[in-house]
Chains A and B, each alone.
Chain A
Amino acid sequence: AQSVTQLDSHVSVSEGTPVLLRCNYSSSYSPSLFWYVQHPNKGLQLLLKYTSAATLVKGINGFEAEFKKSETSFHLTKPSAHMSDAAEYFCVVSISGGYNKLIFGAGTRLAVHP
């Protein structure tokens, strides 16, 4: 069965420092993996997706994630945090490889301090 574990419910960083949001997955197949961001009172926005192409995926707003099959991980990183990055981040795995059956992680709330 597919599942997603986000290892940190809250992450707090200072503006300008690196961001690391950790995600581990479990999948019987070669998974499709996504990172979504949710700002308060807003819908979810796709940051990036991995679909069995390059293992290092670059997304919007300077975020990137690396698919590591041996570690079953798909951690999200950004070299330098900005105040506007404060939001809830979800790691998501797809059962079918597309968007039909998305399994969401519990979410990580990122706080960015001046």
Chain B
Amino acid sequence: GAVVSQHPSRVICKSGTSVKIECRSLDFQATTMFWYRQFPKKSLMLMATSNEGSKATYEQGVEKDKFLINHASLTLSTLTVTSAHPEDSSFYICSALWGALVEAFFGQGTRLTVV
């Protein structure tokens, strides 16, 4: 199957700093990528839908100024957590849509810890 690479897999940052997470589709072009957040012992919650060359669509309750999403190319979307706080600590996972709704492939996730 297609490969989606997410980097870094783990990151620890200080409160108030920003951290960028990358999501790359390695062997296919993805016009649409999705960003999810997974709380401990909880399920994945869709944060935003990222479309190449246009602004991301955020789900209700997700602060777009805090979670900046950039989808500048067909193989790369980035999520930047700005002015991070401990409550932003979570597991963030991306997926990239392959083909016309054929299948979505997931990255391995990023464990963010804000101290």
Contacts and interface: CB of A to CB of B under 8 A. Distances in A.
Interface string A86-97: 000010000001
21 contacts: A41-B108, A41-B109, A42-B108, A43-B4, A43-B93, A43-B105, A43-B107, A44-B93, A45-B106, A46-B103, A46-B104, A90-B44, A100-B49, A100-B97, A102-B104, A104-B36, A104-B44, A105-B43, A106-B42, A106-B43, A107-B43
Interface residues of B, number: 25
Interface of B: 1, 4, 6, 9, 32, 34, 36, 41-46, 49, 93, 95, 97, 101, 103-109
B54 to A, nearest CB: 15
Contacts of B97: 99-100
Given A42-B108, A44-B93, A99 B103 contact: yes
A18 interface: no
A14 B104 CA distance: 32
Nearest to A44: B106
A43 B44 contact: no
Give chain B's interface secondary structure class: strand
A98 interface: yes
B12 to A, nearest CB: 16
A101 B49 CA distance: 9
Contacts of B42: 106
Given A41-B9, A43-B6, A43-B93, A102 B109 contact: no
* Interface footprint category on A: 10 to 19
Nearest to A98: B101
Give chain A's interface secondary structure class: loop
Interface string A30-72: 0000001000011111100000000000000000000000000
A105 B97 CA distance: 20
B106 A43 contact: yes
Given A36-B106, A90-B43, A99-B103, 13 more contacts: A9-B41, A42-B108, A43-B105, A43-B108, A44-B93, A45-B1, A46-B1, A46-B103, A100-B101, A102-B34, A104-B43, A104-B45, A106-B42
